[in-house]
Amino acid sequence: MYDLREFIEKCKELGEVQLVEGADWDLEIGAISQWQVDDPDSPLLMFDRIKGYEPGYRVCSNMFRTRTREALALRLQLDAHSGVDLVRAWRQKVKQGITPIPPRTVDTGPVTENIQTGEEVDLYTFPVPKWHEHDGGRYLGTGHVVVTKDLDDGWINLGTYRVQVHDKNTATIYMSPGRHAGIIRQKYWAKGVGCPAVVSIGGDPAIWAFSCIELPWKAPEYNYAGWLRGEPVEVIEGPTTGLPIPAAAEIAIEGEIVPPEVDSRLEGPFGEWTGYYGSAQRPEPAFKVKAILHRDNPILMSSPPTLPSRTHYLGVWTRRAADLWSDLEKTIPGIEGVYLLDEPLAGKMAVISIKQMYIGHAKHVALASAGNRSLAYLCKWIVVVDHDIDPSDIRQVLWAVCTRCEPEEDIDIIRQCWGSALDSRLPPGKREKGQLDHSTAMILACKPYSWIDDFPKDIKLSAEQIRDLTNKWGKLFKGP
């Protein structure tokens, strides 16, 4: 049974885990995580002996900061040299075929080693961090799965929605409008009852990977995780909700999200993936906890929003880039690479490299990208570059923008695009009206096709030159 602990052990073998002892759950764990994530080679952080807690009650963060750890969690080869290599590897995996594997119900599992019910229930059993200075409280759920069941047909949905602790047996689960679990809970409320839910933390990262990507309505996330694992996800039946819980989870919290008129708590603000406190404090329906299950020496897997934001959700930006790439090449030739840049803000700036073949080719690609679901939500910049530019290397991309784009001719604006209340640039007046749209800029940073043969030659080394230099001189520049 592959689980979070096995993943961490494999990361240790790769030299990518750092133990941190004695940190405070109150801001210090969050500050260390943010500080370290600035380094693109930063290790997975394992916090133990946390202030006020017994040894063994642990928190891990910065789970997937490196391409190696992301590839490990997504069952890809570990030799990606660039972001585009990782996207290409995922595309190749998908091309080999996706055969969903349903979960398998078992009687028990590691998550049942400890069970709290009734008056025993205490969310503060775990060293729940306060991640950012101005957060409205302690957030238990950042690297987790929320399990719900559709009232009409029994469809099991997995999603990731932030979870704030309010007292020992009450939390809130914030869901922005249109999210699948939000639609599901409305059906229960319409009948005047609470919506059963489970917050599952830890377990195989593959499960989390599919809970935080936008799959179609009724898509079975457990089944997709089974495909990625190559075997079924083993689940137990929740003792109070009956919902399927990963048997190898570290922590599982069962309860119900009551109708807002029954009980609501002030939720937020929270430092979001956009790099800002994305929403003001507001009432949210209470999540009444009925039972807590956890392993011995539990690990609170976490993925708090940080800058850069690529690490917040496992593989989301890699898979969105892969989806866009696949969609584009169905109808447009010459697509050489697609990437959602980490440095400005993953998901906000997409770069597509192309081998130009006709007049208007770059504009064709930009327009098709702007209308693609992978980019439609909150993407504000689409950059098209030539095939000699690595779209995952921001230095090359900016060089192309500054030397191949004539702003007056090569930048266009699309208005009234799909936005969100998390948009820090949304004016107060539009926010108050619920007008959550934004504009998107399309930048054509390509050599003009009409005189491409006359464009000045660049001074970059060729791949052949780099290979020859590496073979002759590479030993001088390798580390110890």
CB atoms within 10 A of CB 229: 16
Q: Which of 272, 336, 406, 409 is catalytic?
A: 272
Asked if 89 and 392 touch (Cβ cutoff 8 Å), the reply is no
**Going by DSSP bridges, is the β-strand pair 282-294/411-418 parallel, antiparallel, or unpaired?**
unpaired
Q: How far apart are the first and last CA of the chain?
A: 37
Q: 349: Cβ–Cβ under 8 A, 6 or more apart, which residues? A: 340, 341, 379, 380, 381, 382, 383
Q: Where are the beta strands (DSSP E) in 89-184?
A: 104-105, 114-117, 138-141, 144-149, 156-159, 163-167, 170-173
Say if strands 156-159 and 114-117 run parallel, antiparallel, or are unpaired.
Answer: unpaired
d(CA 203, CA 110) in angstroms, rounded, equals 10
Judge whether 408 counts as a catalytic residue.
no
Tokens of residue 179, six digits: 């999210």
Closest CA to 117 of 265, 258, 289: 289
Q: Return the HEC string of 357-408.
A: CCCCHHHHHHHHHHCCHHHHCCCCEEEEEECCCCCCCHHHHHHHHHHHCCHH
- CA–CA gap between residue 292 and residue 286 (Å, rounded): 16
| Residues classed as catalytic | 272
